[in-house]
Amino acid sequence: MSPAPRVCHDPAEFRTALAERLAAAGAGPASLGLVPTMGALHEGHGHLVRRARAENDVVAVSIFVNPLQFGPGEDYERYPRTLEADLELLARHGADLVLAPGLEQMYPGGEPLVRVTAGRLGTVLDGASRPGHFDGALTVVNRLLNLTAPRGGGAFRAYFGEKDAQQLLLVRRMVADFALPVEVRPVPIVRDADGLALSSRNRYLDDDGRRAALVLPRTLAALAAGEVDLPAARARIDAEDGVRLDYLVVVDPATLEPAEPGPGTLALVAARVGTTRLIDNRAL
C-alpha cells in the first residue's frame, strides 16, 4: 500500500502542496493527473486513479459533493460522505493528493453568479430529467480544473468515467469550446461480477433493488447481441418489478442524436430502482 495521500480542505493549501509535489517529481516539468469525484469511492473510482497513476508523475483526486448539480428533491443532503474510507481506497490506488473542500472553501463568495451553460447537449436525456444538472456539473468541473491546473508547464490530464457518458461528452465539449489546457482521458465502465455498473448510489439499494437493477446491464447486453430490438428492450425493463424506466435510447455518441442500432452507436439507459436513479450504457 502506498502512503496515505495528503488531504487539503483549502484550495490554496492544495496548490502549495501540489507545487511541492510537482517540483519534487524529477527533472523537467512534471505531469498531473486529476480525478474529480463526489466521494463515496468504489473500485470504479479506483480504476480512474490507477490510470492516472500509470500516466502521470503526480495524481490528485478531488472529493466534493457539488450542490449546483443537484435539483430540488434530489439526494444532495443524503449523498454518502465517507471521507475516511475514501482515503483508504485512495492510498491503495496510489493517489498523492486529495482536495476535499467544504462548501465555503469551494465557493467562498457563495454560489457562483457566473456559470457554465451546457447548451443543447445538456438539455436532453439526463439533462431533460435533471434540469440544470449539467450546467452545475460543468461549472464545478471548470472551477476544479482551474484550481488544480499545474503552473509549471507540465502535462495536465483529467480522468472521467464512461459510465457518465453524457457528462464525459459535455466535459470534452467544454474543454474544446473554452480551450482549456487539459487533456480529457476517458476510462471504461467498471462493473461488479454480476454486470451492474459500480456507482456510489448502488449503496442505496436493498437486496431486492440490487437484483432488480441487473435488468439494466442485462438488457443492454441483449440489445448489443441483437437478441431484442429497442421496443422489446424497453418493455423488458418496464416489466421488472420495482424498476421505472426513464429512457432507453440508441444514439450517435458524438451528437446524442437518435441512431439506428449498429456498430458505432451507443445505447444509454436511465431508470429508477425504487427511489434510486441509476444510469448505464453500452457500445453496440
Ligand X SMILES: CC(C)(CO)[C@@H](O)C(=O)[O-]
Which residues make up each annotated binding site for (R)-pantoate? 69, 167
**Which of ligand X, ligand ATP, ligand BAL, none does 197 bind, CB closer than 5 to 8 A by kind?**
ligand ATP
Residue 167 or 276: which CB sits closer to ligand X?
A: 167
Exactly one of 201, 210, 218, 272 binds ligand ATP (CB under 6 A); that residue is 201
Site for ligand ATP in 31-90 (CB under 6 A): 37-38, 44-45, 47-48
Closest residue by Cα to residue 144 from 127, 160, 132: 160
Q: How far is the CB of 179 from ligand ATP (least distance, A)?
A: 22
Looking at residues 23 to 62 of the shown chain, list those that interact with ligand BAL (rule: CB under 6 A).
38
Residues that bind ligand X (CB under 6 A): 36-38, 66, 69, 137, 140-141, 164, 167
Is 143 in contact with 111 (CB distance < 8 Å)?
no
Among ligand BAL, ligand ATP, ligand X, none, what does residue 140 contact (CB within 5–8 Å per kind)? Answer: ligand X
Q: Report the residue number, 139 or 199, with the smaller CB distance to ligand ATP.
A: 199
* Torsion angles phi and psi, residue 220, rounded to 5: -60, -40
Place of cell 436525456: 125
Q: Are 153 and 159 in contact (CB under 8 A)?
A: no
Pairing of strands 266-273, 276-283: antiparallel
Q: How far is CA 218 from CA 1, 182, 253, in A?
A: 35, 35, 21
69 binds ligand BAL (CB under 6 A): yes
Among 61, 198, 213, 269, binds ligand ATP (CB under 6 A): 198
Stretch that binds ligand ATP, among 82-90, 101-109, 123-131, 156-164 (CB under 6 A): 156-164
Query: Which residue lies nearer to ligand BAL by CB, 31 or 167?
Result: 167
The 10 Å Cβ neighbour count of residue 12 is: 10
Among 164, 168, 187, 276, contact with ligand BAL (rule: CB under 6 A): 164
Q: Quick one: 39 or 253, whose CB is closer to ligand BAL? A: 39
Q: Is 45 an active-site residue?
A: yes
Q: Catalytic site residues?
A: 45
Footprint on this chain of ligand BAL (rule: CB under 6 A): 38, 69, 164, 167
